[in-house]
Every structure is written in C-alpha cells, then in structure tokens.
Amino acid sequence: MRSELAPQAPGFNPALDKGGLMSPSGGLLWHLRALRYRRHWRPFCAAIAQWLATWPHGREHLLLLGPSAGWCLPTEFLATFSTIHAVDLDPLAPWVFNRLHGAGLRRAGVRVRWQRADIFGSLVALLATFPGHAVLFGNLLGQHRLYCTDVAAAEVDLQWLTQQLEGRVWASFHDRLSVDWAPNRAAPERVCTPRSLSSEQLARHFGSAGVWTDHLTAEVIAGDVECHYLPWPLMPRRLHVVEAAWHADAASVP
C-alpha cells in the first residue's frame, strides 16, 4: 500500500491516553509551567513571531495543529487568517487560548473552531477536509517521542506524517534537541541555515557538555528549506533547540 493512502501513522495507538490533564506535553502542568516561565520565554516568542511574519502562506484559512493555548504564538499572526481550525488533545487548550487570543481575534473577525483529536490518527482526514488551508504545527512534532515507548516507531510515524504534507503550504516549529543548562549561563545565539542541520551539527553549534535528548525530528524538514534554530529556555535548567521552517507555494514567494 502506498504510504500516503494510509489513514493513520503506522505506530499510532489510540489506546494511549495522551490527552490527560497531567500529560507530558499539554494539560494542566503545561499551562502552569507557561504561566510561571512565560517572562523567560519572551525572546523565544519574539523570534517565533518574526519567523512567522516571513511565511508567505497566501492562504485565508489555517489548520492549526497542537497549538495548546498559543502561549508562544502571536495574535497578530493568527489574525492574518479569516478562519482557524485548531486541533489539540488538551481539553484545557480552547479555554486558555480564548483567554490569551480571543479578544484580539474577535476584533479582527477571525473565527476559531476546535477539535479534540490525535494528529497521528486524524491528519489524513483533516487534510482532505481542509484542502486549501495553510497548515501550522505549533511545537507538536518534537513531543511525539514523549508518548512513544518505541523510538523506532515514533520515527516512522514522523516520516509518515511529513509524506502526507507533500504539495501543501505548511510550516512547523518543533523541538530538535534539549539539554540540561546551567541557570546562570546565557542562552546561545539563534542561527539560520539554508537547509536542516544534523543533530551532531546542532549539538556542536549550541555547545553543551550535557547529554542531549534527541526529539527525533531531524527528518521533518527535508531538502533545501531555510531553517531557523531558536534557543528556548523551557525552564531555568533546561534548554530546548527549536527548529522552525515553512513551505510556501511558488506563486506566493516574493
């Protein structure tokens, strides 16, 4: 069977309870952490806003995947669409998102719909239902390994997922690596490269003697696609290296 016809990622397991309030990448713990550290996240959020502003998506509608409450997403960017279909497993995400972005989006006339679903089980149907939407993964893909006991299966799922996106206008920012980081050590400089860097190159550039966690997203961005690598101090003692890249229609690229 051709992989793009497969309705679900190969390792997708609907029995795993990923969407709980204490889930490792969403839910109550995530929102409390965001509330506590959002001041430290400002440079990272500003870098995401700058990068999103360069995406010539040329679309009126957005399929927003794994945005949580959009703690790191700028309302100004979201307001460039007239409708947003947001998908996340976290039952709290719509409510907190509305607190953060609702007023701004209502003023701009943007309509937001929510769906609680697992991307690895629903992506094919979502892409078919919204064929003209731009697609944005909002820091979801690097979280997949947190839910998978089998690293090889997680990698296969991510490969499958990027195959589904062929021909689409899409963008993603996602964890590539993370590492323990001394709280008094300055965050490293961000870097932009003409194509994706390997995990070894990234670890060398961001320099740490610690043990890096690989988030298995090295193959998400393939070919000659400009990549931004942004340091994100998730917590005072933990640094994430986030990769951000977009794909646009040839017609929309200035």
Ligand X SMILES: C[S@@+](CC[C@H](N)C(=O)[O-])C[C@H]1O[C@@H](n2cnc3c(N)ncnc32)[C@H](O)[C@@H]1O
Binding site for ligand X (CB under 6 A): 18, 25-26, 30, 66-73, 88-90, 93, 118-120, 138-140, 143
Residue placing its CB nearer to ligand X in the complex, 44 or 181? 44
Residue placing its CB nearer to ligand X in the complex, 187 or 249? 187
Q: Are strands 134-138 and 61-65 parallel, antiparallel or unpaired?
A: parallel
Residue placing its CB nearer to ligand X in the complex, 140 or 230? 140
* Dist. CA 112–CA 124, nearest whole Å: 21
Q: How near is the Cβ of 24 to ligand X at its closest, in Å? A: 9
DSSP-derived secondary structure for the chain: --GGG-SS-TT--TTS--SSTT-SSSHHHHHHHHHHHTTTTHHHHHHHHHHHHT-----SEEEEES-TT-TTS-HHHHTTSSEEEEE-S-TTHHHHHHHHHHHHHHHTT-EEEEE---HHHHHHHHHHH-TT-EEEEES-GGGHHHH-S-HHHHHHHHHHHHHHTTTS-EEEEEEEEEEE--TTSPPPPPEEESSPPPHHHHHHHH--SSPPEE-S-TTSS-SS--EEEEEEEEETTEEEEEEEEE---TTT--
Q: How near is the Cβ of 81 to ligand X at its closest, in Å? A: 16
Residue placing its CB nearer to ligand X in the complex, 218 or 242? 242
Q: How near is the Cβ of 122 to ligand X at its closest, in Å? A: 8
Q: How near is the Cβ of 247 to ligand X at its closest, in Å? A: 19
215 forms bridges with which residues in the sheet?
none
- Chain residue whose CB lies nearest ligand X: 26
Q: How near is the Cβ of 160 to ligand X at its closest, in Å? A: 13
Residue placing its CB nearer to ligand X in the complex, 37 or 249? 37
Q: How near is the Cβ of 100 to ligand X at its closest, in Å? A: 9
Residue placing its CB nearer to ligand X in the complex, 70 or 233? 70
Please report, for residues 51, 139, 205, the alpha-carbon distance to residue 184 in angstroms, rounded to integers and kept in the order given. Answer: 27, 26, 19
Residue placing its CB nearer to ligand X in the complex, 26 or 231? 26
Nearest CA to 140 out of 170, 100, 182 is that of: 170
Q: How near is the Cβ of 83 to ligand X at its closest, in Å? A: 19
